[in-house]
Structure formats: C-alpha cells, structure tokens
Structure 1
Amino acid sequence: MMRKLRSSMLFVVLLAFTMIVTACNGGNEQGSSGGEKEKVKSISILTGGTGGTYYPLGGAMASIIQEETGINANAQSSGASAENMNTLKQGEAEVAFAQTDIASYALNGELMFEGNKVENVQAIGTLYPETVQIVTLKGSGIESVEDLKGKKVSIGAPGSGVSANAQQILEIHGISLNDIKVQNLSFDESVDGIQSGSIDAAFVTAGTPTGAVEALAAQKEVKIIPISAEKVKQLIEKYPFYAEDTIPAGTYGIDSDVTTVAVKAMLVARKDLDEETVYNITKAIFENTDKITHAKGKLIKAETALDGIGNIPLHPGAEKYFAEKGVK
C-alpha cells in the first residue's frame, strides 16, 4: 500500500513538473512570436532597373552595410517604387528604395494602392530629390502654371507618380485635368512631342539633370516653369511628402534658378526588422556616404534625411540614430 502511495506521489510530482516546464516554454514561444522583432544576418535591398539610379546606389549601400555591420546585404533590380512596396508587403525583402509620394500612397491605400494598403513598412530616411520639372520651350507663351490652361500637356502614364504630381500641382493652382488637353506620354515621348510641336509642355519627375530633357535642350531652348513660393508652401501643407527644390541656373541652359518642388527618393524597411539592425544599417549608410561613388551620393546627408518624409512613420532603429545626431 505504501509503495503504491509513493508511486502515486511521484507521478503527481513529475506531472506537475512537466506542466510547469511546458508552461514556461509556451510563454517563451508566445513572447518570441508575439511582437519581438527578429534579428537578421542577411538582407535584400530592392532598387530599380539596372539602367536607373536606384540600382547602382543600392549596390554601393549593400557593400557599405556588409563592411560596417557584417550583415550580408545584396541589391536586387526591380520595377522600382510601387513594386518595391508590394514586395515588402509580401515579406519577400527587407529594405527598399521608394519615392516619398509612392510610399505615402501605399501606406494610406490611395491611388494605385487603393484596396491594397501596405501596413508593414516604415521609413529609414530620405536620400535625394526627384524634382518635379514642368518643361516647355522658350517662346511657347507658357510662363506660369496657370498658362497651361487649354494647352496639350503630358502628365505621364495614367496612375503613375508623375500623373499624381501633375494633378496635385494643377489643383493647388485651381486647375483640373479638364482645363488642359491631357497627354499620357513617357519622358522620351514627351520631349519628342515638345520638340516636334505636337504638345506644349510636360511634367517630368526625376533627378536633375534628366537625360531626356538634356537631349531636348541640345536641340531647342528649354524653359522650366516655376512654382511660386506661396504655392510651394500650400502644396507641402496639403501633401507633406513634397519638399521645396530649386533647379539651378545653367541646368539645360536656363538663365536663372527655378523654384519648384520635389518628392524624395527614400529608403524604407519592413517594420518587423529589429531596432538594432535598422539602427546599424542607418548609421552605416549615413556615416559612409563618402564611399558612394555615384553622383547622387553627395546629396545623401543625415541632416536632410527627414526632409519630405511627411507622415510616413520612421522605423524605431532609424529614429534612434537621427535622435543621436540631433536631426528633427
């Protein structure tokens, strides 16, 4: 009888011990899957086409990240901003290039992201301006944005970032698409149309100088239409992903500086990346821009990395770095 009692007592003790261990292990598993951000040993950086700016910049940044942090980083060519945001949404990469306006549309489920909101992406920082250029020719009679009324104007492909830029800028000036003769042309088609006289003006959003506009300037006298300081302020107040920009005299042979706006090329990351990893990536990039040989590397600065970021939330790792640098 005593032997059976001791056996029963031993069974109860073992059972209780097993339950305690299981509960502890279950708690650890829940903690790791219930919000802790996994540290990574390798990352993919989504860029753009191999002939564009994002791809070589991404390659340089991947090398810097690997050298400075030990994280195995590689740059991947892609369809650029919109595709990159969708790829991050699917969890198929960790870091990507995007324009600030496209990132904003993605996070808010607007325009080309209507019904397809991207909620798992946060900002690392902005890099350099993608300038909105309203291009026409000297002698066209177009001196201001208001003068575009009744004219044939290319605003890029339907649903594109350029099209959104054009509509927002026209809107601030009290102009709708019904007030112009809309043409949906690529940059090359736009400058060909301006040169041949089949269109009057075109919106071009790209880093300056832009090759297509340079080609036009080699044949004709180019004019870039300014946006007044007052309208720039109104535009940024309504659409905070814009930043003020200036196209300097001499670009395309223009006589004086032209005030306009820009969206910014930026880096974004999946928000489930841990804070330390993103902090180290951010620090590596912004403190080693001298290792970027591409011309745009000179424009990448910690001091301007929050310009044009608007309402796009910063990743906590990037926020920690910029706070240490005193950047607001």
Structure 2
Amino acid sequence: MKFNKYLAMLLGATLVLSACGDDSGEEDSAADTEEAADGEESSGDAASLDTNIVTIATGGSSGPYNIIATTLAEGYSSEFDVNSRTQTTGASAENLNLMAEEKVEMSFVMSDALTQAVNGEETFSEPIDNIQQVAALYPNFVQLISTDGAGIESVEDLAGKRVAVGDQNSGVEIATRAVLEAHGLSYDDIEVDYLGYAEASEAMRGGQLDAAFLTSGLPNASVMELQNSVDLKIVPIEQEAVDVLSEDADYFEALEIPADTYGNEEAVPTVAIMNALVVRSDMSENDVYNLTKYLFENLDTLSNAHQAAGDIDVETAQDSAVIDIHPGAQKYYDEQ
C-alpha cells in the first residue's frame, strides 16, 4: 500500500513538472516567434516608404540631372516597391515651382536658383517655403562654348553675338545672367536664344549660333557630341569675374574644366555652382531618411550612370547646403 502510495505521488510530481516544462517551452517559443515577427516588422519599416510615389524633377533629357535621377528612380522603385520616375523639365526654376505646386516630391536644382526661390528673389515672385535640402551634390560647371571661327575669346566678346542662354527661367539662365553682369554685360548687349543643351548644340552645328552657356556636371553629353562635328572652343571665365560673383553669393566657386574633357589641350578656368537635391518638407522623416540612405549607399551605381555623381560625398553633403536640411536627411548624417 505504502509503495503504491509513494509511486502515485512520484508519478503525480513527474506529470506536474512535465506540464510546467511544456508550458515554459510554449511561452518561450511564443515569445521567440513574437520577437522574430517584431524584428521582421522593424526590418520592413526600415526598407519601406510611407508614400507610394516619388517623382523626381530633373532637366533636359541629355543632361546629368536626368541621367543620374533616372538611375536613382529605378533604384527607389526596386528597393522600396514604389512608383518612382523622373520628369524631364527646363531644370532648376521649373523644378522649384513644381515643388511649390506639390506636383513632384524631389528635385535636382542649382544652389543659386534654390537660394533665390526660398528668398522670393529674381524670377520667384514669392518665397517657396515647402522645400528642404537632402544634400549638396556635385559642382555644376558653367561651360561657355563657341567655335574657333566665331571670334569669341572672352565673355566680353559675346557683345553683338547670338547666344543661347538656356531654357527661360532655368538654372542655366540664372547663372548666365549673373556671369554676364559680372562682365558688365546684359541681355541688351547680345542676341538671346532660349535653348536647352541639345537644341543649342544643334543650332551651333548648323551655324545658327555663335555661343552657348551650359551649366552641368562634366562632361555634358551634348557638348561631347558637338565636338565631333565642329571646331569646339571653350571660352574661359576668369578669376576676376568669379570674385565679383562671390561678393554677394558664396555658392560661386572658381574651378577648372580639366584638359581633355572636350578635347581641350589645357584646363580652362570657369565658375561652378553646387547642385542640390531637395524634397518637399511635408515628406515624412522615415521616407527622407530611407531615400537619403539609399542615395549614399549606391553612389557607385550612380557614378556608372554619369561620372559627375562621383563627386557626391557624404562627408561634404551638408557643408555646401544653402537651405535647411530635412530632418530625415539630418538623421542619416547624424548616424555617420
């Protein structure tokens, strides 16, 4: 009887311990599953966007803006499963107005146009206050091109000549006005043609144009194509003019177009303006953080699309910013 009693007690204790062990395992397993699910959700959040659309306003179809942005948009679409595409435009000023009208989410613009836009100056009748900067990108070189037979050796020689100044109200035109003014010239002194890169190159090839201003990263595809059919000349913009330009705007910088960029034997002095990537300020911190992170983690891909992107550097992306950085981009920089 005693033996049976003790045996029953032993079996009961074993069953209780076994049950406790099973409950603990189920709880641990459930906790592990919940933690894994949380981890998957967190990982998903880090690689997803709140918005379903990211339209990037660029510039002319042959310019670096459009080439780099197209590669970036393709990456955004693939990485975040969103509808990201580019919109070909007349570049900076048009892009900024599209931002103000909330028709695009992101834009490539020049820092001079961006500064004027937020201050409501020049071609902008009132301040644009719904944009913030993601990064300073790469320098846009002012490229004043002509042909050997046009007799243009300096900016002053443009007087009386037919000159392409970029699309009306574009970043090219804004820079053109400034460069002319620094040399004591205005549109009254030249025959103005509002032409984009490709159109200006075609007009020069046909002998309908004496000179053209372009502002872009190097090299510009339209100029490279043009050099194959004309005796191309790159007209210098000297340091003295850059000093005048920099008096009121510190985004102007003296740089050189390197030798052999367009078959030129020597480097040509000019002025450059930093490009900027901007977003609408109403975009979420999460979205802009992820878009910024993807940008800097895929610079090799962007550089393969156009070598100008090789000058984009996370170490200097904030230094040359001319307006407030979006909190999402700032969060990324703070992590570096």
How far apart are 1:304 and its partner, in Å? Answer: 3.8
In the alignment, structure 1 residue 97 sits paired with structure 2 residue 117: no
CA deviation vs aligned residue, 1:165-187 (integer Å, no higher than 9, x gap) = 11100111222222333344443
Q: Which amino acid aligns with 1:84?
A: N
Query: Which of residues 311, 314, 317 is equivalent to 1:302?
Result: 314
Q: Which amino acid aligns with 1:295?
A: H
Query: Which of residues 201, 211, 216 is equivalent to 2:221?
Result: 211
In the alignment, structure 1 residue 127 sits paired with structure 2 residue 137: yes
How far apart are 1:228 and its partner, in Å? Answer: 1.7
- Summarize the Cα distance change of 1:49–1:259 in structure 2 as closer, same or farther, 3 Å threshold: closer
Higher mean C-alpha deviation, range 184-193 or range 220-229: 184-193
Counterpart for residue 269 of structure 2: 259
Give the conservation status (yes or no) of the 8 Å contact 2:144–2:214.
Answer: yes
Query: How many angstroms apart in 2 are the aligned matches of 1:90 and 1:157?
Result: 20
Counterpart for residue 294 of structure 2: 284
How far apart are 1:204 and its partner, in Å? Answer: 1.8
Query: How many angstroms apart in 2 are the aligned matches of 1:66 and 1:50?
Result: 22
Task: Count residues in correspondence.
Answer: 284
Give the conservation status (yes or no) of the 8 Å contact 1:50–1:56.
Answer: no
- Summarize the Cα distance change of 1:71–1:268 in structure 2 as closer, same or farther, 3 Å threshold: farther
Q: CA-atom RMSD, angstroms?
A: 3.1
- Summarize the Cα distance change of 1:300–1:143 in structure 2 as closer, same or farther, 3 Å threshold: same
- Summarize the Cα distance change of 1:191–1:107 in structure 2 as closer, same or farther, 3 Å threshold: same
Give the conservation status (yes or no) of the 8 Å contact 1:136–1:223.
Answer: yes
Query: How many angstroms apart in 1 are the aligned matches of 2:84 and 2:168?
Result: 32
In structure 2, the gaps of 5 or more residues are 1-48
Secondary structure at 1:251 match in 2? coil
In structure 1, the gaps of 5 or more residues are 1-38
Counterpart for residue 315 of structure 1: 326
Secondary structure at 2:146 match in 1? strand
CA deviation vs aligned residue, 1:193-225 (integer Å, no higher than 9, x gap) = 444554432212233322332233212221111
In the alignment, structure 1 residue 268 sits paired with structure 2 residue 306: no
Query: Which of residues 175, 181, 184 is equivalent to 1:165?
Result: 175
How far apart are 1:249 and its partner, in Å? Answer: 0.9
- Summarize the Cα distance change of 1:55–1:133 in structure 2 as closer, same or farther, 3 Å threshold: closer
Higher mean C-alpha deviation, range 103-112 or range 220-229: 103-112
Instruction: Give the greater-gyration-radius structure (CA).
Output: 2
Secondary structure at 2:200 match in 1? helix
- Summarize the Cα distance change of 1:215–1:235 in structure 2 as closer, same or farther, 3 Å threshold: same
Query: Which of residues 181, 185, 189 is equivalent to 1:175?
Result: 185
- Summarize the Cα distance change of 1:185–1:40 in structure 2 as closer, same or farther, 3 Å threshold: closer
How far apart are 1:189 and its partner, in Å? Answer: 4.5
Query: How many angstroms apart in 1 are the aligned matches of 2:298 and 2:202?
Result: 40
Counterpart for residue 9 of structure 1: none
Query: How many angstroms apart in 2 are the aligned matches of 1:111 and 1:213?
Result: 29
Higher mean C-alpha deviation, range 225-234 or range 169-178: 225-234
In the alignment, structure 1 residue 107 sits paired with structure 2 residue 118: yes
Query: How many angstroms apart in 1 are the aligned matches of 2:266 and 2:189?
Result: 29
How far apart are 1:257 and its partner, in Å? Answer: 0.8
Q: Which amino acid aligns with 1:270?
A: R
CA deviation vs aligned residue, 1:285-305 (integer Å, no higher than 9, x gap) = 113312334124423221342
- Summarize the Cα distance change of 1:234–1:321 in structure 2 as closer, same or farther, 3 Å threshold: farther
Query: How many angstroms apart in 2 are the aligned matches of 1:147 and 1:173?
Result: 10
- Summarize the Cα distance change of 1:91–1:180 in structure 2 as closer, same or farther, 3 Å threshold: closer
Query: How many angstroms apart in 2 are the aligned matches of 1:114 and 1:277?
Result: 30
CA deviation vs aligned residue, 1:129-187 (integer Å, no higher than 9, x gap) = 33211111225432222232333333234433322211100111222222333344443
How far apart are 1:256 and its partner, in Å? Answer: 0.6
- Summarize the Cα distance change of 1:208–1:92 in structure 2 as closer, same or farther, 3 Å threshold: same
How far apart are 1:273 and its partner, in Å? Answer: 2.9
Q: What is the TM-score of this pair, normalised by structure 2?
A: 0.71
Q: What is the TM-score of this pair, normalised by structure 1?
A: 0.72
